[in-house]
Amino acid sequence: MRLKGKVALITGASRGIGHSMAKLFAQEGSKEAINFLKSEKEALDLAEEIRKQGGEAIAIKADVSNLNDIKKMIQTTMAEFGTIDILVNNAGIILSATFLDCTDEIWDKTMDVNLKGAFLCSREVAPIMLEKKRGKIINISSASGLTERSAVGNTPYAVSKAGLIGLTRSLAVNLGPYVNVNAICPGLTETDMAASLKPERRRKPIEESIVKRIGKPKEIAHAALFLASDESDFITAEIMTVAGGRAIR
């Protein structure tokens, strides 16, 4: 029960990594605000599953690139649980495009969801954490934001995830000493997003990793659990890579 009594708001939590984090956090005692945009059934089913196991959870529809949606999401969470102790900026999209093929629409949509969304959610939640002088913000970046190889095939995604790393460090400085802000950079992970990639795009990350496989959502969730727990109180502005050793090769 490493998160007993805590309230966690996880964006993009209806599927994939966010889904695994919500389940694991709930098992460790936290109350869950499960954000979704399109996957309503998955989000409602997850909230119901958590409640059947004795936990507390609600599903909230919100577009993280829309400030009004974010404000309503936070208001709903506060009305239900009274506070927010943990924010995980996990919502993200991947619209594959090389630099020369990237349109304005692809660029803007990618930045709005992957980077601006994390900025807006953090800005709206931070005052709640600062008032009680405690909080954890975890940004889900990507190994794509660390290596030049990914930027060749998908410029907007790589840039947005590199931007999340910069945002993480800036937030840590601006919200310290009370709020810990860290980022996780997963490698290719078994999600619907990964399944949509072409075989070549899936094969290369496996070949480039040390462990010769892609990650599992629960492996990213366990890293997030550590950063959300009291065990990481002396850790902030750090970038945790969970990519099977790919980022150093």
The residues annotated as belonging to the active site are 157
Helices (H), 82-228: 104-111, 117-132, 148-153, 155-175, 192-195, 199-208, 217-228
The residues near 60 (Cβ < 8 Å, ≥ 6 apart) are 33, 34, 35, 36, 73, 76, 77
Distance CA 198, CA 210 (A): 21
Closest by Cα among 140, 132, 138, 224 to 178: 132
Q: For residue 16, which phi and psi values (nearest 5 degrees)?
A: 60, -135
Q: Are residues 243 and 184 in contact, defined by beta-carbon separation less than 8 angstroms?
A: no
The answer to whether the Cα torsion of 113, 114, 119, 125 is positive or negative is positive
First-to-final CA distance of the chain: 36
E strand or H helix at 241, and its extent? strand 239-242
